[in-house]
Chain A
Amino acid sequence: MNTVKVEGTDKGHVLLLGLSTCIWCRKTKEFLESNNIQFEYVFVDLLESEEKDKVKETLKKWNPACSYPTLVLNNSSCVVGFDEEKIKLELLI
């Protein structure tokens, strides 16, 4: 998966699946940035169809509703939507 990497404090692997037009995805990204979290993100709406399908399959595994933003943490849990409290808990912020 071609992701954009953002440097910061290592709190494990943090992957944000989002849409470039989605304000909640933007808020999630800004929240991670403002808390100096190291993460990777991908805007699924900007991908070419083949890559898009692959990422959608990955998303479906974590979040069957296939909604955005979805934050995959350490390849073991996920947070759906911009749920600030839950993200804080999961990332110990």
Chain B
Amino acid sequence: MSAVLVGAAVVLLALCVAGVLLVPGPMNRLHFLGPAPLAVLLACAAVLVDKGASTIGIRAVLIALFTLATSPVLSHTVARALHHRGEDDA
């Protein structure tokens, strides 16, 4: 089960990378960062399934919570910076 979750997380992140590399325009590329926190969630779920509520499991939960909370903030800040730089027209 944990191997499936790890594989799903890696595939999702690979798709994010493909989107960032292939889609034209930084603002369009920014949209492909949206699924990245979901991949972090999948990886942390894999750790929890395999290790349970151990030290590394608690670290995984903290990483997932932090990423889920901060990723939208960071995306908004990056989008605003791109807008100020005039790179949001592609």
Do the two shown chains form a genuine complex with each other? no
